[in-house]
Amino acid sequence: MTVILIGYMGSGKSAIGKKIAKKSKINLVDLDDYIEENEGMSITEIFEKKGEVYFRKKEREYLKQLLETETNKIVSLGGGTPCYGDNMEMILKATPYVFYLKASVDTLYKRLKKRKDQRPLIKNIDNADLSEFIRKHLFERNFYYMQSHHIVNVDGKSRKKIAKKVIKKLS
């Protein structure tokens, strides 16, 4: 069984993925970590040195690798992964367990403003403009996210509660 977690950056994909992995005893693969390991550079370095087009090509290549392996796993995707090329189509065909961790703009803003330096797409955006950026970006990506098999609202919920909700849908 492959479980896919998608959602906007800051929605909790990695954190929730860790909780689910621990509870269900299924390995977690964070796609960004997988890319960094295989490329020998951080995501930020890849964006700076090789550009977003290169990153998106490699992202698709590594996603395909992960989806084609047979083992049980939880895969936490980058926020933009489902929104490029035929990635979402490939994801939906690979497993019936695609979960969109849906967070409001307010929740995302509160989480992201604290960690902008670690996020190449928003690190140069002023906090005053960040909320509007998230709103527009989320609107553009929502088309892809809403195709998920399962939508889990994360606003105001603990990681433990969200993980339990996902695990319940797996059984």
Does 85 count as an annotated binding residue?
A: no
d(CA 99, CA 6): 6
Is 11 labelled a binding residue? Answer: yes
Question: Which of 79, 71, 76, 35 is CA-nearest to residue 54?
Answer: 35
Q: Is 131 annotated as a binding residue?
A: no
Rounded-to-integer distance, Cα 91 and Cα 102, Å? 17
24 is in an annotated binding site: no
**What gap in Å lies between CA 14 and CA 111, rounded to an integer?**
13
Question: Tokens 């621990």 belong to which residue?
Answer: 22
111 has binding-site annotation: no
21 labelled ligand-binding: no
- Residue 40 annotated as binding site: no
Torsion on CA atoms 76, 157, 165, 25, rounded to nearest 10? 50
Asked if residue 158 belongs to a known ligand binding site, the reply is no
Largest Cα–Cα distance of the chain, in whole Å? Answer: 45
136 is in an annotated binding site: no
- The number of beta carbons lying within 10 Å of the beta carbon of residue 69 is 9
Q: Say whether 148 counts as a known binding-site residue.
A: no
CA distances from residue 44 to 19, 27, 39, 139, 148 in whole angstroms, order as listed: 26, 25, 12, 24, 27
**Residue 32 annotated in ligand binding:** yes
Detail the residues annotated as belonging to a binding site for ATP: 10-15, 119
Detail the residues annotated as belonging to a binding site for Mg(2+): 14
Detail the residues annotated as belonging to a binding site for substrate: 32, 56, 79, 141
Detail the residues annotated as belonging to a binding site: 10-15, 32, 56, 79, 119, 141
